[in-house]
Amino acid sequence: MTTPLSSLAPAVAKPEVLAQIDAAITGAVNAEDKKAKKEKVEKSRKGDLFKIVHDYQRRSIEFADRKATFIVFGANAFASFLEKTRGLSAMRSAPWSNWTVGGACGELAIVFLAAGGFAALWVIVPRVGRNVPKGAIYWEAIRQYPNVQDWTTAMESITDEETNRTLLEGIYDLAGINVVKYRALQTATWLGGFGMGFALLNIAL
């Protein structure tokens, strides 16, 4: 709370002048308070946005792993079904000239389904052994610290600005993992799709 300047000024000063000075000082103080509150709100909004983006990247990784797991088991199950019920084993022992179009489609289906399953496995494989700097989120980055004391000391001395920067670095790292996973998932989806197409031809023919 500011002390009115009029209470400190000489009695000869004009009241209207003192009132203007008091108003100017009070306005300046209020402006500083508003500015500080605005900066605090902006920092809070940025922090909330960073957390939302980080959570989105993490959930994207989980979603890719679930889809890849479905492709692995689906491709394996469908390839096994074709192998056991469509007489492909017997056809392989026959000369090429005796192969049917449907049988050839069945063989191609198994090849593409197997390739799609292996591509999906690459999605699920953990990303380890990467050269990453010291950090606060990714587990390999945390283990770059030589011991727990160095890790705890670094985390205890971190500032608000460094906290946001650390979170952004974690987001970027997760985004890189997502790029690799979703490229492999796209490949697995296409291969599995071709496999399903040939499988349907095998059943139809």
Rounded Cα distance, 151 and 146, in Å: 8
Q: Give the pLDDT confidence of 64-85 residue by residue, as tens digits.
A: 999 999 999 999 998 888 888 8
Q: By the 8 A CB rule, do 193 and 158 touch? A: no
Q: Is 64 helix (H, G, I), strand (E, B) or coil?
A: helix
Per-residue pLDDT at 169: 86
Residue 95 CB partners (closer than 8 Å, separation 6+): none
Residue type, position 109, single letter? A
Q: Give the pLDDT confidence of 101-138 residue by residue, as tens digits.
A: 888 898 999 999 999 999 999 999 887 766 777 888 88
Q: Give the pLDDT confidence of 84-110 residue by residue, as tens digits.
A: 887 777 777 878 778 888 888 989 999
Q: Is 33 helix (H, G, I), strand (E, B) or coil?
A: helix
The tokens for 118 are 């292996």
